[in-house]
Structure 1
Amino acid sequence: MWNSTSFHPDYFLLIGIPVLEDSHLLISIPFSIMYVLALLGNSTLILVISTNEILHQPMYIFLMMLAFCDTLLSSSTVPKTLSIFWFDSHEISFNGCLIEVFFIHFTFGIESSILLLMAYDRYCAICHPLTYATTLTNSFIAKATTLAVFRVFSMAVPFVFLLKRLPFKQSNVIEHTYCEHMSVAKLATADILINTVYGLMTIFTSPGADMILIVLSYAAIISAVLRLPSSEDRFKAFNTCVSHICVIVLFYIPAFFSFIAHRVGHKYISLQFHIIFANLYVLIPPMMNPIIYGVRMKEIRERTLVIFSRLTGNRQ
């Protein structure tokens, strides 16, 4: 198992959900259903937005980015989790584990950045409607997206090297269904203070900072909405933000719960509950986001029905 030229194991063993091994097959049923729904929903969103020029507007472009990121987030962990549940395929190579850690942090950070850009889109649309078209240009979207990718990439890469520098000589068994940074780091036979501090720093400087800016954006939006003359105008303005608010809540609450669970340990939060919740936070947002936007946004709903009617018509 151990690499003779380093202090790294050739592979790790992901044991799944401890104590609930006999229930893995049963647990896999809702997990697989949610994953399929996430793939179908986000693929449909990407198809609908990319093939309709009328939807090539900032709000929908950000939504298409979110759908792509959701697909990547769930696909970076769920297939391996299901292979554990279905086929007892517990092994993951050392480098494969590091790649999984990278993609988890990268996609999480990108999704947080996209949610911030969507909040800025709503801020410009409601607080500065006259300059919206000149502010949210294609050039701005390209530059903002590039900056977000560079920021998140530069923060995600160090996680790989922080784990790679650690010696693992006692155990290669990870009590989880996928490779979380701290779950892997805790197996090391060396001090992991740097890993802990860096994890905290990235949380506060990336998704934490994004969340603060989102809250400030919505404080300005609410203030602007309350100044509108009629209740009908206030309802219409706020109604355009409801979907985004729901997505924000679904994204940040499970993620920060998982983050806190690692820090407080399993004295207060059982390991089984933590692992199940950690899986749900890469499944529920990707599954629910297309449903939320499909139900709330008339344009998405109508064009989705048009595509399905064409597909069924061609089959007939």
Structure 2
Amino acid sequence: MAEAPQSNSTFSRPTFFILTGIPELGVAQAWLTLVFGPMYLLSLLGNGALLAVVEIDSTLHKPMFLLLATLAATDLGLATSIAPGLLAVLWLGPQPVPYVACLVQMFFVHALMAMESGALLAMACDRAVAVGRPLHYPVLVTKAHVGYAALALALKAVAVVVSFPLLVARFGHFRAKTIDHAYCAHMAVVDLVGGNTRASNLYGLALSLAMSGVDILGIMGSYGLIAHAVLRLPTQEARAKAFGTWSSHICVILAFHVPGLFSYLTRLFGRHTIPKPMHILLSNNYLLLPSALNPLIYGARTEQISDQLLETFAFRKSQF
């Protein structure tokens, strides 16, 4: 069913592409559903539960928890935009995807990635203000400000990412229909274009790196301020507790940004030295793993949310 790329011939824009997943693994790639399937299920249950708790408990309608809900909604959308197609390709083999549907998936995947990165930055800034300026926090961070921030993040993501499918739509000729990937990543689709794609490749990489780079610098600055404030706490116990929460948040941020930057850089500099299966596995893992871990680290380790979850389960158990 898969077509091999033909370097010396091109054809008009196809009506569909074929997603192959990780063809180098052959039938063994079906076993990866045992890894990505539970990740997706955990993402659905964890982020769904977090959103439900924040919605039900009016005491959680505060800036910090609303930012958590924004991150959970983004994680839910990002995982759902990738996982069903990924699992179908891994379990059933190469799958056709309509041309328009491929561009739509490309937009949502990259836009939600930008939203996730922005949400992590907003949460880091929120904690920096809460720890560094606790007396001014109620004035500086309000529910209205969180709403404006979420809207700004969405508009930024759309403005930056809408150019990805538009760049692909400009090309009228392709060398192949087969995408050696499990979803319609921008760079993977551009690789199929017949003609000079250097400008499109560099533009896509530059936008992705700039967007991630700005967010990473902002997050590093915010957590630097948090670390400075934590070191000034009066007791060792308070410092240890604060650093425990701080370090877990850093792990989530690193799990999202470091593999993402590695994926972008290997596309640019190491595409002939890094094995393609490793690149594809990494790109899928760094999109699904954080969405599965975030509810556990951000939600379960937040005392108010944990208490509300325990109350909900205890109430439902008492009804049976």
TM-score, length basis structure 2: 0.92
Answer yes or no: is 1:263 the counterpart of 2:279.
no
Unpaired stretches in structure 2, ≥5 consecutive residues: 4-10
Q: 1:300: which partner in 2?
A: 305
Q: 110, 113, 116: which one pairs with 1:111?
A: 116
3-state secondary structure, aligned to 1:267: coil
Shift of 1:28: 1.2
Q: 1:184: which partner in 2?
A: 189
Q: How many residues align?
A: 311
CA contact (8 A) 1:122 1:241 kept: no
Q: 1:94: which partner in 2?
A: 99
The C-alpha deviation readout for 1:210-248, integer Å capped at 9, x for no partner, is 110111111222222223333334334434433422221
Superposition map of 1:138-217 within 5 A: 138-217=143-222
3-state secondary structure, aligned to 2:162: helix
Q: 2:84: which partner in 1?
A: 79
Q: 17, 38, 52: which one pairs with 1:12?
A: 17
* CA–CA separation in structure 2 for the residues paired with 1:279 and 1:227: 40
Q: 1:275: which partner in 2?
A: 280
CA contact (8 A) 1:118 1:244 kept: no
3-state secondary structure, aligned to 2:12: coil
CA contact (8 A) 1:59 1:121 kept: yes
* CA–CA separation in structure 2 for the residues paired with 1:11 and 1:43: 33
Q: 249, 252, 255: which one pairs with 2:254?
A: 249
* CA–CA separation in structure 2 for the residues paired with 1:152 and 1:120: 19
Unpaired stretches in structure 1, ≥5 consecutive residues: none
CA contact (8 A) 1:48 1:304 kept: yes
Shift of 1:135: 0.6
Shift of 1:84: 1.4
Q: 1:54: which partner in 2?
A: 59
Answer yes or no: is 1:132 the counterpart of 2:137.
yes
Paired letter, 2:59: I
Paired letter, 1:311: R
Q: 2:75: which partner in 1?
A: 70
3-state secondary structure, aligned to 2:287: coil
Percent identity between the two aligned chains = 35
3-state secondary structure, aligned to 1:228: coil
* CA–CA separation in structure 2 for the residues paired with 1:237 and 1:37: 27
3-state secondary structure, aligned to 2:233: coil
* CA–CA separation in structure 2 for the residues paired with 1:194 and 1:64: 38
Q: 2:239: which partner in 1?
A: 234
* CA–CA separation in structure 2 for the residues paired with 1:212 and 1:95: 35
Q: 2:44: which partner in 1?
A: 39
Shift of 1:294: 4.0
The more displaced of 55-64 and 235-244 is 235-244
Shift of 1:251: 1.2
Q: 2:7: which partner in 1?
A: none
Shift of 1:86: 2.6
Quick one: structure 1 residues 133 and 240, their matched pair in 2 at CA, closer, same or farther if it must change by over 3 Å?
Answer: farther
* CA–CA separation in structure 1 for the residues paired with 2:68 and 2:185: 27
The C-alpha deviation readout for 1:90-147, integer Å capped at 9, x for no partner, is 1001111111110111000001111111011111011111100011111211111111
Paired letter, 2:206: M
CA contact (8 A) 2:54 2:61 kept: yes
Paired letter, 1:308: F
* CA–CA separation in structure 1 for the residues paired with 2:166 and 2:114: 18
Paired letter, 1:19: E
3-state secondary structure, aligned to 1:282: helix
Provide the alpha-carbon RMSD of the alignment: 1.8
Q: 1:27: which partner in 2?
A: 32
Q: 2:8: which partner in 1?
A: none
